[in-house]
């Protein structure tokens, strides 16, 4: 048994929950130290080379648990967070429920991991940022630290797995139907996701015209960086099963070179630069999938950069990909628990 007590995953049968269990098992935590919880009818879920039972979500399950990972959505997080905290558990929430609460740290360990240091004694609650925000800030934080970011324009190309297992199944089914000439049925999204792209399926704010995903990127960037940097985001779904991609245009506070930008990104933990212009080799969702690193490439000076006499400029562009089920959710959450020393 773990000296600190078992680990629980609420939402264990969803796409993030199953990824959490896979990564927890890879860290060598034995099955008897893991509690899988879900509200559905599944009796067991994969863990390592075997299966572990799935418990119904009820208060008693938290009694001997040290750390709870919440991966069942915002409504479930709001319900079970106070109960888990009252039982003395540390809580890592992957949903949006607590991200804008000023009393709850919103943390990407490589970016603002120092926020964990102020959480001294259990029970502690930490929020996992939105996956699109994690990808954006993992790529741009080394630039922000070195030269300051004055303005960001980002377009996302988001995999359907961000909408859950049912959306992944729908893309598979629609692709087969399209190729076979059969009728396309769309249940998860407002229109087909196979062979199609469309504005992110989160709700649109009538006054701003932004969808929910775009608004999260604005608000969460400000919280995590503790800086008022304008972010203009356009978030789009693409017919990809797994891993998000972003095209980023950034204006820096101080002019620099492409080589310096590339070096700063290369040195940042959790990032891998794939930027071979001669071979046309750059980040893709395929390369990022099932990996822990944020891939960054297409690093170049923007056409509208204000050049200085020595060739330095202030505006740069890049292309980034990341497995949003791992670093965008499960891995980041596990890193938070490790930072708290609660697993």
Distance CA 81, CA 243 (A): 28
Using DSSP, state whether 183 is helix, strand or coil: coil
- Catalytic-residue membership of 131: yes
Protein fold of 132-324: Dihydrodipicolinate Reductase; domain 2 (3.30.360)
| Candidates 98, 193, 244, 320; catalytic one | 244
Helices marked H in 153-300 — which ranges?
165-180, 212-225, 258-266, 285-288
Distance CA 79, CA 239 (A): 33
Which has the closest alpha carbon to 252: 153, 152, 154, 150? 150
| Candidates 131, 149, 193, 320; catalytic one | 131
Distance CA 169, CA 161 (A): 9
| Paired tokens of 300 | 């170049």
Spatial contact of 244 and 324, defined as CB atoms under 8 Å apart: yes
Distance CA 60, CA 73 (A): 21
Which has the closest alpha carbon to 283: 317, 315, 246? 246
- Domain residue ranges in the chain: 7-129+329-339, 132-324
> What pLDDT score was predicted for residue 4?
62
Helices marked H in 237-302 — which ranges?
258-266, 285-288
Spatial contact of 210 and 204, defined as CB atoms under 8 Å apart: yes
> What pLDDT score was predicted for residue 59?
84
Spatial contact of 85 and 63, defined as CB atoms under 8 Å apart: no
Locate the DSSP E strands across 159-292. Answer: 198-199, 231-237, 244-256, 271-273
Q: Which pTM does this prediction carry?
A: 0.96
Query: Chain-centre distance of CA 300, in angstroms?
Result: 25
> What pLDDT score was predicted for residue 313?
96
pLDDT in tens, the chain (343 residues): 344 679 999 999 999 999 999 999 999 999 999 999 998 767 899 999 999 999 988 888 888 899 999 999 999 999 999 999 999 999 999 999 999 999 999 999 999 999 999 888 889 999 999 999 999 999 999 999 999 999 999 999 999 999 999 999 999 999 999 999 999 999 999 899 999 999 999 999 999 999 999 999 999 999 999 999 999 999 999 999 999 999 999 999 999 999 999 999 999 999 999 999 999 999 999 999 999 999 999 999 999 999 999 989 999 999 999 999 999 999 999 999 999 998 8
- What class, spelled out in words, does domain 7-129+329-339 have in CATH? alpha beta
- Catalytic-residue membership of 244: yes
> What pLDDT score was predicted for residue 39?
83
């Amino acid at each position: 048994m773990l000296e600190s007590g078992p680990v629980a995953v609420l939402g264990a049968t969803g796409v993030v929950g199953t990824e959490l269990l896979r990564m927890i098992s890879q860290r060598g935590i034995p099955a008897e130290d893991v509690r899988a919880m879900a509200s559905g009818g599944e009796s067991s879920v994969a863990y390592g080379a075997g299966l572990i039972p799935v418990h119904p979500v009820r208060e008693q399950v938290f009694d001997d648990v040290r750390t709870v990972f919440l991966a069942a959505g915002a409504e479930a997080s709001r319900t079970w967070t106070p109960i888990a905290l009252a039982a003395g558990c540390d809580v890592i929430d992957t949903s949006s429920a607590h991200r804008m609460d000023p009393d709850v740290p919103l943390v990407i360990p490589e970016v603002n991991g120092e926020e964990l240091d102020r959480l001294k004694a259990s029970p502690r609650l930490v929020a996992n940022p939105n996956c699109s925000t994690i990808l954006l800030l993992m790529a741009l934080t080394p630039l922000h630290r070195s030269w300051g970011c004055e303005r960001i324009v980002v377009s996302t190309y988001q995999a359907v797995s961000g909408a859950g297992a049912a959306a992944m199944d729908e893309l598979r089914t629609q692709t087969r139907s399209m190729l076979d000439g059969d009728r396309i049925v769309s249940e998860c999204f407002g229109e087909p996701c196979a062979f199609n792209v469309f504005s992110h399926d989160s709700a649109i704010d009538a006054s701003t015209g932004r969808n929910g995903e775009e608004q999260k990127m604005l608000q969460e960037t400000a919280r995590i960086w503790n800086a008022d940097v304008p972010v203009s985001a356009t978030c789009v779904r693409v017919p990809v099963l797994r891993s998000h991609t972003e095209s980023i245009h950034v204006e820096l506070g101080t002019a620099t070179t492409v080589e310096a930008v590339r070096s700063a990104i290369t040195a940042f933990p959790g990032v891998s630069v794939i930027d071979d212009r001669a071979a046309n080799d750059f980040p893709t969702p395929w390369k990022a999938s099932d990996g822990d690193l944020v891939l960054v490439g297409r690093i170049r000076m923007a056409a509208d950069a204000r050049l200085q006499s020595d060739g330095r400029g202030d505006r740069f562009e890049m292309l980034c990909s990341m497995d949003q089920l791992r670093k965008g959710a499960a891995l980041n959450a596990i890193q938070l628990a490790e930072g708290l020393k609660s697993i």
